[in-house]
């Protein structure tokens, strides 16, 4: 491919005439202007229920009134069907790894996180979607899709209405969930078993 020449109009452009007072000052070619934006997050009703329960080591999910799918964290709706999902269910603090990433890059603001660390989709028992969590308590090389994990909570005195209450998820030592049933694949199997609709 030839490098299509730019029409003359672009070229160098017309000469720029500076006032004498600044004619021998070094030209400014770029300016770095860091910006920040802070905002207050006001949780929805479902989120408030979830975060308050989470502060006492309870994990709440929402059950869809349409097909019974359980969402965690709860949003108060089943977004697939556009309906309110008011029913809250208690979930256990154990599940399995749907899939994961071994990250070798330090994250700004997380100096506490040793590199490499494992971020994983955590699928709680009884929930039908996963969420992101840190896996620790074993070597990164030993983490597997389907590995059973449980929550390691912060000391009670440090708990609050925040997503940070679970320090990480550690292996339970139980047998793995088979890969073919791990993560989101469980939903299709469940639907097939109960004669439900198309889970995809």
C-beta atoms surrounding 152 within 10 Å? 14
Using CA atoms, how far apart are residues 107 and 127, in angstroms rounded to an integer? 29
What would the x/- binding string for another protein be over residues 155 to 194, using CB under 8 A?
--------xx-x------------x---xxx-xx--x---
Single out the residue of 85, 100, 149, 151 in contact with another protein (rule: CB under 8 A): 100
Site map (CB under 8 A) of another protein, residues 46-85, x = contact = -x---------------------x-x-x-----xx-----
CB of 20 to another protein, least distance (A): 26
Cβ-contact 51, 162 below 8 angstroms: yes
Select from 61, 95, 133, 171 the one that contacts another protein (CB under 8 A): 133
Under rule CB under 8 A, how many of the chain's residues touch another protein?
59
Of 88 and 166, which CB lies nearer to another protein in the complex structure? Answer: 166
What DSSP element (H or E) covers 46? helix 45-54
CA–CA gap between residue 106 and residue 117 (Å, rounded)? 9
Residues 6+ apart with CB under 8 A from 200: 188
Query: Exactly one of 6, 28, 139, 157 binds another protein (CB under 8 A); which one?
Result: 6
Q: Is 139 in the site for another protein (CB under 8 A)?
A: no
Q: Helix, strand, coil shares of the chain as percentages rounded to 5?
A: 20, 25, 60
Under DSSP, the state recorded for 179 is G
Reference 65, options 88, 90, 85, 91; nearest CA is 85
C-alpha to C-alpha distance for 188 and 157, rounded to whole angstroms: 41
Q: How far is the CB of 156 from another protein (least distance, A)?
A: 19
Residues that bind another protein in the complex, under the rule CB under 8 A: 1-7, 9-10, 29-30, 35, 41, 43, 47, 69, 71, 73, 79-80, 98-105, 107-110, 113, 116-117, 119-121, 128-134, 140, 145, 163-164, 166, 179, 183-185, 187-188, 191, 199-200
């Amino acid at each position: 491919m030839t490098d299509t020449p730019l029409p003359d109009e672009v070229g160098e452009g017309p000469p720029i005439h500076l006032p004498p007072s600044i004619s021998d000052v070094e030209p400014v070619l770029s300016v770095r202007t860091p910006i920040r934006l802070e905002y207050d997050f006001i949780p929805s009703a479902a989120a408030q229920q979830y975060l308050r329960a989470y502060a006492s080591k309870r994990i709440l999910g929402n059950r869809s009134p349409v097909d019974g799918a359980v969402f965690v964290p709860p949003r108060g709706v089943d977004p697939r069907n556009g309906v309110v999902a008011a029913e809250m269910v208690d979930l256990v603090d154990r599940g399995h790894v749907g899939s994961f990433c071994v990250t070798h890059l330090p994250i700004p603001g997380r100096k506490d996180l040793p590199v490499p660390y494992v971020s994983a989709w955590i699928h709680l028992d009884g929930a039908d979607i996963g969420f992101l969590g840190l896996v620790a308590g074993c070597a990164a090389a030993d983490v597997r899709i389907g590995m059973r994990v449980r929550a390691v909570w912060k000391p009670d005195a440090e708990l609050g209405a925040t997503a940070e209450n679970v320090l990480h998820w550690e292996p339970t030592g139980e047998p793995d969930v088979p890969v073919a049933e791990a993560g989101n694949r469980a939903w299709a199997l469940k639907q097939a078993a109960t004669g439900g609709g198309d889970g995809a």
